[in-house]
Amino acid sequence: MTRPGRDFFEKPGIEVARGLLGKILVRKTGGGIISGKIVETEAYIGEEDLASHARFGKTARNRVMYGPGGFLYIYLIYGIYFNLNIVAAQESVPEAVLIRALQPVAGLELIKENLEKFGRVRADRNLMKGPGKLCVALDLDKSFYGEDLASSKRIWIEDAGEAPRIEASPRIGIDYAGAFREKPWRFTVSGNSFISK
DNA sequence: ACATGGATTCGCT
DNA sequence: GCGAATCCATGTT
């Protein structure tokens, strides 16, 4: 297992979104290791992408998107859930990849504990399907904003050497995005049952 | 300051 | 497959 370095992330967002599929996201908590295979991603590409948080330019919230690739962009959505993004492309180019679903690999008990703690989410179904639940399962919060995947000791990516077959489709939940609504920038591992839809 | 609205989820059909 | 709840951080759209 090798850990992708800065160069892996400092490529166009679409390439990173595809490249992340089949890789393992590892989270080290006080209780142990949680890990999952990335099976669903979405790319958000630049200020002209009307679905992207960068569409209004640089703000306090999205500033990390304008930094170098490989850092985490985490934000609160609907007042309750966090979403996990990985910044792509080079400094000053605001691109990011939303992680939408993981296939559990290790730490199933910890995942269930985290979901139970959250209360709203039942622990017995669809463990890491959907970006909000995935963050609950991994016990991620605002303190991970700006975390560096290339050097962090509590969250990182490992390359399992897999090159899965990939399908592209329109992104989820962005009906407001006008001409960008139909862009096929959502990527899934072909035939995998752990994707969110 | 504060109204706004959302890169969702769940539960019901 | 669809509709509605939910609620706080964000940007002032």
Task: Please give residues of chain A from 80 to 99 whose alpha-adjacent beta carbon (CB) lies under 7 Å from any atom of strand C.
Answer: 80
A81 CA to C3 C1' distance (Å): 20
* Nucleotide nearest residue A62, measured CA to C1': C10
Residues ≥6 apart with Cβ < 8 Å to A12: A45, A88, A89, A95
Residue with nearest Cα to nucleotide B4 C1': A78
What's the pLDDT score for residue A66?
97
Kindly report the bases of strand B lying within 7 A of a protein C-beta atom.
5-11
* pLDDT above 80 (res A152): yes
A139 burial level (CB within 10 Å; 0-12, 13-18, 19+): buried
pLDDT class of A21 with cuts at 50, 70, 90: very high
A2 CA to C6 C1' distance (Å): 41
Highest CATH level, class, for A6-189: alpha beta
- Taking only the tens place, the pLDDT of each residue in A28-85 is 999 999 999 999 999 999 999 999 999 999 999 999 999 999 999 999 999 999 999 9
**Is strand C in 7 Å reach of the CB of A125?**
no
**Is strand C in 7 Å reach of the CB of A176?**
no
What's the pLDDT score for residue A127?
83
What's the pLDDT score for residue A120?
67
A1 CA to B4 C1' distance (Å): 45
What's the pLDDT score for residue A77?
95
Residue with nearest Cα to nucleotide C11 C1': A59
Inter-CA distances, A56 with A70, A85, A134, A152, Å:
22, 18, 27, 30
A158 CA to C6 C1' distance (Å): 36
A79 CA to B3 C1' distance (Å): 15
A136 CA to B13 C1' distance (Å): 28
DSSP-assigned beta bridge partners for residue A147: none
Kindly report the bases of strand C lying within 7 A of a protein C-beta atom.
5-13
Short-list A95, A18, A24, CA closest to A62: A95
What's the pLDDT score for residue A117?
86
What's the pLDDT score for residue A196?
85
- Taking only the tens place, the pLDDT of each residue in A80-134 is 999 999 999 999 999 999 999 999 999 999 999 999 888 767 766 678 899 999 9
What's the pLDDT score for residue A156?
98
